[in-house]
Each structure stands twice: as C-alpha cells, then as structure tokens.
C-alpha cells in the first residue's frame, strides 16, 4: 500500500535532490559492487542505463506515492536527466575554469576543485532564490526588505571574488537570513525531506575519504616516499568511490616509473586509458614513459611509439587542448634529438 498522498509534499525537496543525483547513486552502487564491469560514468554515457534508471525512479514514485497529477513525474524526470549535462566532463572543466581552477597534470579537475566550484555556482543560485523569496515576503518590514536586497548584492560581490573564505560566509549568512525571514512558512514536517538525502551524504563521505587518501598519497609521492605513496594509491583505488580512477592510475604509473618498474607503469596507464572518460591524459603520459631517459636500454624505450601516440592526438581533432600538448611534446622531442626532424 502506498504512503498517504500528504507525505509527498513533506519530503518533496529532498526527493528532488535525490532524483538529481540518482545516476550518481546508481553508478556508485554499480562500481562498488561490480568494479570490473562498470566504470565511474558508464550510466551517464549510456542511454539504455540512463533510461532504465529513469524508468525505475518513475515506477518507484508511482508505486510509493501514487500521485494523480503528471507534474511530480515530470519534475522527477527533469531532475534525473539534468544530471547528464551537469556531469559531462566539458561542463565540469568549464565550471572549474569559470571558478579559476587550473587542472593539475593536464588532467580533469579533482574532486575538491569540482565540489568547490559547484558549491560556488549552485550555492549562489540558491542564495539568489532564497533571498528573492524573502524580500518579496508580504509581511516583511521595509527596512528588513532593503537589508535583504543589500545582502543579496553583497553575496554576488563575494561570489565574484571566487575565494571560498569570502563567499562561503556570505552564503551562510544569506541563507540563514532567508530562513529566519520565512521561518513561519516552514512546517516541522519538512524535516522529513532530509531522509531522501541521507544516501547522498553516505556517498559524499566515501568520496571525500577516498579523495583525502589520494591527496595524502600525492604528498608522500612528492616527498619521494614512493613505496608509502603506492600503498595509499592502492587504498584510494580500492575505495568504493564513484569518482574517476584515472588520476590514481596516472600517479601510480609515475611512482612505478620512478621506482624503475616500467612494466607496472605501462599497465597502469593502459588501464587508465581503458576506463577513463579522458583517455588523452594517460595516453600522453604513456608517450612520455616511452621516451623517459632511464628507459634507454630497456624494452620500454620506444620513441617511435611515443611519436605515433602524440601524432594521433595532434591530428585526431578530439581535443584542441591535447592537440596543443601533443604538438608541444613532439617539438620538444625533436629539439632534443629523440625524434627525427619532421
């Protein structure tokens, strides 16, 4: 028997948040339970899996709450499908650039950078909506209304700094003010909307822990403590996190390279290329491995293979950014005499 119809409005905000991240949750579950069969963004990039996720969400909505209006179904569908453009690599890279984040090691933005940029942009939108609703509240005093508009303006100015220690406090103050202005409009039962968000908090906790482990590994790697760094890289790789493993594989390959284990370094990069939504990053790193000075005299010194990889990247037209990177490396290797003149 479905829940009473009056329950749906109480949990509706949290349900929409869950719907917007439902694909994240499905991908996390699949990569955690079937890591050999599913990659981190496979559902996002698969129309069939995305459609199945959407159908499951709408079916569960109908069986649980039995809404008579098509509006709840439409809103859930929009929330689920909104994940696709927002989770595309091009969007995440563009948002990181808009926020002023430079991507490390020619790779995609990291988890911390992505979360910060998303909190900056979507937090500002949330602040704008909240304060606008508060300012238009019919029972608001004129002085409080003016303060609300001023606070909105200050929040926008703080956001333009793109400095978290500046905009984050303004966001908190603004949202607190908006809540206090409209506190009489909020019913205690709206706290039930937090229930659908709980799985997302678990997912976030796992992602943050994996990211912290990888950050610690990178610090050890920078300090030259390669064996310890590799151990932490493996922990981060084994964590049931949804975020891309590409960076972990690339950094592991650099550890193995510096330890002289070129076979393992190559295997890490090949694995990264097979599972990455940005295969150009591990590919250019593999080309660099094949011309690494210490590989001379080993089967892994393959300048012809490096030239082939870089030339394909330069001429493929898939990414202007990586075409420029490939062109730079080809020119450098020719100047060094490792590759023949073009």
pLDDT band for position 111 (cuts 50, 70, 90) = low
pLDDT at 238 exceeding the cut of 80: yes
Average pLDDT value for residue range 121-126? 90
Q: What is the largest CA-CA distance in the chain?
A: 81
Tokens of 287: 């080309």
With helix as H, strand as E and coil as C, how does the chain read?
CCCCCCHHHHHHHHHHHHHHCHHHHHHHHHHHHCCCCCCCCCCCCCHHHHHHHHHHHHHHHHHHHCCCCCHHHHHHHHHHHHHHHHCCHHHHHHHHHHHCCCCHHHCCCCHHHHHHHHHHHHHHHHHHHHHHHHHCCCCCCHHHHHHHHHHHHHHHHHHHHCCHHHHHHHHHHHHHHHHHHCHHHCCHHHHHHHHHHHHHHHHHHHHHHHHHHHHHHHHHHHCCCHHHHHHHHHHHHHCCCCCCCHHHHHHHHHHHHHHCCHHHHHHHHHHHHHHCCCCHHHHHHHHHHCCCHHHCCCCCCCHHHHHHHHHHHHHHCCCHHHHHHHHHHHHHHHHCCCCCCC
CB atoms within 10 A of CB 329: 21
Residue of 107, 91, 111 whose CA lies nearest to 283: 107
CA distance 160 to 121: 10
Q: For 279-317, what is each residue's pLDDT tens digit?
A: 899 999 999 999 999 999 999 999 999 999 999 999 987
Cα 290–217–30 angle (5° rounding)? 85
Dihedral sign, CA of 57, 20, 188, 132?
negative
pTM: 0.75
Predicted local confidence at residue 4, as pLDDT: 47
Q: For 174-232, what is each residue's pLDDT tens digit?
A: 999 998 988 877 767 777 888 888 988 888 898 889 989 999 999 999 999 999 999 99
Residue ranges covered by each domain of the chain: 8-184, 194-240, 244-341
CA distance 48 to 71: 24
CA distance 284 to 176: 48
Predicted local confidence at residue 5, as pLDDT: 52
- What is the torsion angle, in degrees rounded to the nearest 10, for the CA atoms of residue 19, residue 24, residue 26 and residue 27? 160
CA distance 168 to 195: 25
pLDDT at 44 exceeding the cut of 80: no
pLDDT at 119 exceeding the cut of 80: yes
């Amino acid at each position: 028997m479905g829940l009473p119809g009056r329950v749906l409005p109480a949990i509706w905000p949290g349900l929409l948040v869950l719907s917007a991240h439902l694909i994240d949750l499905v991908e996390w579950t699949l990569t955690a339970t079937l890591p050999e069969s599913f990659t981190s963004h496979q559902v996002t990039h698969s129309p069939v899996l995305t459609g199945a996720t959407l159908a499951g969400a709408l079916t569960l909505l109908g069986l649980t709450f039995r809404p008579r209006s098509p509006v709840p179904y439409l809103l859930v569908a929009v929330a689920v499908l909104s994940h696709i453009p927002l989770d595309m690599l091009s969007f995440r890279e563009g948002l990181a650039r808009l926020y002023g984040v430079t991507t490390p090691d020619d790779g995609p933005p990291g988890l911390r950078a992505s979360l910060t940029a998303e909190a900056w942009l979507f937090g500002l939108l949330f602040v704008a909506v909240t304060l606008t609703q508060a300012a238009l509240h019919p029972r608001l005093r004129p002085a409080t209304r003016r303060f609300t508009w001023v606070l909105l303006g200050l929040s926008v100015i703080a956001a333009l700094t793109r400095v978290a220690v500046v905009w984050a406090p303004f966001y908190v103050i603004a949202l607190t003010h908006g809540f206090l202005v409209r506190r009489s409009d909020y019913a205690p039962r709206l706290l039930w909307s937090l229930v659908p968000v709980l799985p997302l908090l678990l997912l976030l906790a796992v992602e943050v822990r994996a990211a912290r482990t990888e950050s610690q590994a990178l610090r050890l790697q920078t300090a030259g403590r390669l064996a310890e760094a590799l151990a932490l890289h493996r922990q981060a790789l084994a964590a049931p996190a949804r975020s891309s493993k590409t960076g972990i594989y690339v950094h592991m390959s650099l550890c193995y390279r510096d330890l002289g284990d070129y076979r393992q370094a190559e295997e890490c990069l090949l694995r990264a290329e097979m599972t990455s939504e940005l295969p150009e990053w591990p590919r250019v790193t593999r080309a660099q491995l094949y011309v690494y000075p210490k590989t001379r005299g080993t089967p892994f010194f393959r300048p012809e293979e490096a030239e082939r990889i870089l030339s394909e990247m330069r001429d493929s037209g898939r990414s202007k950014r990586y075409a420029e990177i490939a062109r730079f490396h080809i020119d450098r290797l020719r100047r060094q005499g490792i590759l023949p003149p073009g």
